[in-house]
Structure 1
Amino acid sequence: MKLLVTGGAGFIGSAVVRLAVARGYEVVNLDALTYAACLENVAEAAESPNYAFEQADIRDRAALDRIFATHKPDAVMHLAAESHVDRSIDGPGDFIETNITGTYQMLEAARSYWTQAGKPESFRFHHISTDEVFGSLGAEGQFTEDTPYDPRSPYSASKAASDHLVRAWAETYGLPVVLTNCSNNYGPYHFPEKLIPVVILNALAGKELPIYGDGSNIRDWLYVEDHADALLTVLEKGKLGRSYNIGGENERTNLELVQTLCGILDRLRPKTPSSNGEGVGHNAPSYADQITFVTDRPGHDARYAIDPTRMREELGWRPSVTVEEGLEKTVQWYLDNEDWWRALQDRKGVGTRLGVKA
């Protein structure tokens, strides 16, 4: 089976590319190589004869038509998107253009290709989205696939719009689609502007560890390699026209998450005690001393949580790691791959507080 993966040089997309190639799929990686993309993310897959790369913008219909005609994929996994909430607050236009207009162009290119090929029943257009389209939860309850959409940020609104487009193309034109909405991802190759890599890298640099508000916002954390496995499961087994919520079954407050990261760093890369003997034994310095609470971002959703029943009962899938196990792997990966993240720290916006213009 040949997959066309959009955004395959990004965080989640590259995890899909690496896993798909390892499992014997042919993979065409379509990526515009914008600020958050990095071809180093797929270096191991790029050595395979089953891998091909196309640099193109998903808004460029002519380029998309050429790529479909050249590679003749059996399925599309559409992950290309602007995805950082804080950046969407400062510059919503990029999110409208990429996430809405880009998805429209992908759908039209895929529909044209599928139609010209005789509308094969085996073709799939798999649209990958986020749980943020459902809005914010209170202390109780979880998002299901039937939860009404209630996006609160320019990012989540643009992703909600793209989800609606995909469903409309399925209903109107019969395009064979499946959709997934995932919880917060983390793991190796996470671009250093999101919470977990920011905490790890700021801790190592002796900088403040910024937590929005009082740190009580809750997220369900999903290890990115588990997510890639879930996405391929949906592609292979999911029912046409069906959506699947993919969760990590690991709810934590932001404060709990940061404290866990600090504890892992304290074990794996202990801070050096002071020269006068302070900070030895039980009084050893901790990265948690660097935690700082900062002004909350506008429209910050209180809680996300996913009900994974459909993934578990229909497709037999569950996450393989707990958040503690996944965070341990993630911290160790950043400690072992300093060359990767140092090369990205000079990119626009990295290390700067964003999303404060509202």
Structure 2
Amino acid sequence: VQGDIGDRALVDRLLREHHIDTIAHFAAESHVDRSITGPAAFVQTNLVGTFTLLEAARAAWLDGKTAEGRRFHHISTDEVYGTLQRDDPPFTETTPYAPNSPYSASKAGSDHLVRAYFHTYGLPVVTTNCSNNYGPFQHGEKFIPTVIRSCLRQQPIPVYGDGSNIRDWLYVEDHCRGIDAVIRRGRPGETYNIGGGNEWANLAIARLIGRLLDERRPEHAPHEQLITFVTDRPGHDWRYAIDAGKMDRELDWHPRETFETGLAKTVDWYLRRHAADPAWGGMASGS
């Protein structure tokens, strides 16, 4: 079904006709750059859209009925916690919120709505805050697909500022396993941080992708020479890092992929996709 999470009539009908007992709420505008130039879409989707889903779930699940066996899983981001300095400890589930972009502010607001629906109405919710995802099928606007695509096209690789900004990277299949664990075994009303334990600076990532492609496409080596420093993003958070200890302790989850192994799989997937269709750029989506 293709539709808009802001379409209350559609959401109500789907919940009713398909007897849905679990909602995994991934739907979001998620690119920080676009939130800076066009914040309205982020408020509409991330805040109003989440509100619409919560209201629909409340009407379907709590209208004179028990909520047992139902689950509303809200997928959020580590960006709601703000930024870290070099020696700061990683974010935990009790880190105060301090969003610094329209994107992270819209996600923080949606997190608070989800929490409120648990405490006010008893809606059986869980929230996960994840670190930066990567892997096959990712939207082409994201950093790692952009670097790979630039290398394949022999075009400049844009790196913000001096490339020192650090992110914690989580392979998509590890994230999916974490989400499944939380849906099945997480405690209602709780928040769980899902992180990869892989802190890498953007410049180091661009260089690593270049080396991986040097090995696979030596005729175009060195790909690192394509790196081009561009004007930094306004209000660019310097570092994110997640402490996923609660996931390990309570749900026996931990990431299986190191960044190096996950990135190699990702590069190989993009090479296969590019070989099948050299004109493909992956910009509109990862499909």
Alignment equivalent of 1:187, drawn from 135, 138, 143:
135
Q: Is residue 55 of structure 1 aligned with residue 2 of structure 2? A: yes
SS of equivalent to 2:126: strand
In the other structure, the counterpart of 1:16 is: none
Conserved 8 A contact 1:192-1:341: no
Question: What is the TM-score of this pair, normalised by structure 1?
Answer: 0.77
State the shift of 1:192 in Å. Answer: 1.0
Q: Is residue 306 of structure 1 aligned with residue 242 of structure 2? A: yes
Quickly say closer, same or farther: Cα 1:196–1:147, change in 2 above 3 A.
Answer: same
- Aligned mates of 1:65, 1:256 — CA distance in 2: 46
State the shift of 1:117 in Å. Answer: 7.0
State the shift of 1:119 in Å. Answer: 2.1
State the shift of 1:204 in Å. Answer: 1.0
In the other structure, the counterpart of 1:10 is: none
Conserved 8 A contact 1:76-1:126: yes
Alignment equivalent of 2:57, drawn from 110, 114, 127:
110
- Aligned mates of 2:33, 2:131 — CA distance in 1: 17
Alignment equivalent of 1:155, drawn from 79, 83, 103:
103
Q: Is residue 128 of structure 1 aligned with residue 64 of structure 2? A: no
How do residues 1-358 of structure 1 correspond to structure 2 at under 5 angstroms? 54-116=1-63, 118-140=65-87, 141-272=89-220, 285-338=221-274, 339=276, 342-343=279-280, 345=282, 347=284
State the shift of 1:89 in Å. Answer: 0.7
- Aligned mates of 1:288, 1:250 — CA distance in 2: 21
Unaligned runs of at least 5 residues, structure 2: none
User: What CA deviation, in whole Å up to 9, does each residue of 1:217-249 have, x standing for no partner?
Assistant: 000000011101100001011011110000001
Which runs of at least 4 in structure 1 moved beyond 6 Å after TM superposition?
Answer: none
State the shift of 1:271 in Å. Answer: 2.7
Quickly say closer, same or farther: Cα 1:218–1:340, change in 2 above 3 A.
Answer: farther
State the shift of 1:56 in Å. Answer: 1.3
State the shift of 1:345 in Å. Answer: 5.0
- Aligned mates of 2:133, 2:202 — CA distance in 1: 14
User: What CA deviation, in whole Å up to 9, does each residue of 1:128-176 have, x standing for no partner?
Assistant: 0000000000112110000000000000000000000000011110101
- Aligned mates of 2:236, 2:65 — CA distance in 1: 46
The size of the alignment, in residue pairs, is 284
Quickly say closer, same or farther: Cα 1:85–1:302, change in 2 above 3 A.
Answer: same
Conserved 8 A contact 2:139-2:282: no
In the other structure, the counterpart of 1:29 is: none
Conserved 8 A contact 2:67-2:124: no
- Aligned mates of 1:137, 1:340 — CA distance in 2: 40
AA in 1 matched with 2:60: Y
SS of equivalent to 1:292: strand
State the shift of 1:343 in Å. Answer: 4.7
Quickly say closer, same or farther: Cα 1:193–1:101, change in 2 above 3 A.
Answer: same
AA in 2 matched with 1:213: G
SS of equivalent to 1:271: helix
In the other structure, the counterpart of 1:355 is: none
Quickly say closer, same or farther: Cα 1:341–1:70, change in 2 above 3 A.
Answer: farther
Quickly say closer, same or farther: Cα 1:226–1:132, change in 2 above 3 A.
Answer: same
- Aligned mates of 1:64, 1:341 — CA distance in 2: 38
- Aligned mates of 1:59, 1:346 — CA distance in 2: 25
Which protein, 1 or 2, shows the higher relative CO under an 8 Å CA cutoff with sep ≥ 6?
Answer: 2
Same amino acid, percent of matched pairs: 55
Cα RMSD for the two superposed structures: 1.6
AA in 2 matched with 1:242: E
Question: What is the TM-score of this pair, normalised by structure 2?
Answer: 0.96
